[in-house]
Amino acid sequence: MKEPLWPEGAPGAKGTEEKDIPTLTTYLPASEINTGCGIVVCPGGGYGHLAIGHEGVEIAEFWNKLGVAAFILEYRHSGRGYKHPAPLQDAQRALRTVRARAEEYNLDPSHIGVMGFSAGGHLASSLGTHFDKGNPDANDPIEKVSCRPDFMILCYPVIAFDKPYTHKGSQHKLLGKDAPAELVESMSSERQVTSDTPPTFLFHTTEDTGVPPQNSAVMYLALKEKGVPAEMHIFQKGRHGIGLGRDVPGSSAWPRLCHAWLKTMGMIPQKN
């Protein structure tokens, strides 16, 4: 089921067309295998479009088979006429929405994470480094809830800005080509890691020339420096954007390793 994140209209919306309405599509597992864990999924697309198929629907269906609920976020981006902070606002609202409705979805509100691919990985990492506890005075019950993810899964993510290995297209579409240095630093996720950043799983490939694996490496090192639990896998094979990587030698193991990591972190019961 697809629903608008803000029934009354998103903050900063430029109109009421489909492109102005960020949405969340719910995929729930069968009740008999439900683990109580939920994941907001942020497809990639360089902040210019959304790869809803192999980085959205296929991912949601994968998690559902393992008893995990998935929620595909269709966030605003430059292809829809939006730059920062609209994508982050949408991600924050999505996480709040799932947590606020945890009982309705039969989820544990402390087992709600975020997952992102490529530029969606940048958005997921931005959510994990720019969150709040919610506004207790808000009239909207969703806005009262924390938007901090309980874990992050970052798949060949865009992380660092203004580096030789930066995916410049994502940076420019999100912030513009002449963004102030302090904004660039604020949205360079590895520079914003603190001890409160959620535990993180990262995967990348050595052959990725679109978003080089240094992005994951610097994020992992930043997490380790701050004492945040983190696990990283950099596989040899695979171009950028492999999704589940079903036919990619070696890299096809990442979904199974990620599932095992969620068990290790206590987000999914070991018996599942």
Answer whether residue 61 is part of any domain: yes
> Residue 187's domain is classified under what CATH number?
3.40.50.1820
Structural domain contains residue 12: no
Tell me if 18 is assigned to some domain.
no
Say if 13 falls within a structural domain: no
pLDDT of residue 272: 74
Q: Examine residue 1 and state whether it is found in any structural domain, yes or no.
A: no
Q: How far apart are CA 113 and CA 104, in angstroms?
A: 17
Residue 205 maps to a domain: yes
What pLDDT score does 75 carry?
98
Q: Let me know if residue 44 belongs to a domain.
A: yes
- Look-up of token digits 């009262």: 144
CA distance 38 to 74: 17
| CB 89, CB 12: distance < 8 Å | yes
Number of domains in the chain: 1
Q: What is the largest CA-CA distance in the chain?
A: 52
Q: How far apart are CA 166 and CA 211, in angstroms?
A: 7
Q: What is the pLDDT along the chain (272 residues), one digit of tens a residue?
A: 999 999 999 999 999 999 999 999 999 999 999 999 999 999 999 999 999 999 999 999 999 999 999 999 999 999 999 999 999 999 999 999 999 999 999 999 999 999 999 999 999 999 999 999 999 999 999 999 999 999 999 999 999 999 999 999 999 999 999 999 999 999 999 999 999 999 999 999 999 999 999 999 999 999 999 999 999 999 999 999 999 999 999 999 999 999 999 999 999 998 87
- Residue 73, classed as helix, strand or coil, is strand
Give the CA distances from residue 261 to residues 18, 164, 231, 242, 257, in Å, rounded to whole numbers and listed in that order.
37, 31, 8, 20, 6
The helix, strand and coil proportions of the chain, stated in percent and rounded to the nearest 5, come to: 35, 15, 50
Sheet (strand 23-27) strand order? 2-4, 23-27, 69-74, 38-42, 112-117, 152-155, 200-205, 230-235
Query: Cα 182 to the chain's mean position, in Å?
Result: 23
- Rounded alpha-carbon distances, angstroms, from residue 250 to 63, 185, 203, 254: 20, 34, 12, 8
Give 181's contacts (C-beta < 8 A, 6+ positions apart). none
Residue tagged 């999924």 (tokens): 41
**Paired residues of 234 in beta bridges:** 204
Q: What is the pLDDT of residue 271?
A: 82
Nearest Cα to Cα of residue 157 among 83, 224, 210: 210
- Residue-number span of the structural domain to which 234 is assigned: 24-264
CA distance 27 to 65: 11
| Residue 257 main-chain phi, psi, to 5 deg | -65, -35
Q: Is residue 5 part of a domain?
A: no
CA geometry: angle at 123 spanning 94 and 111, to 5°? 50
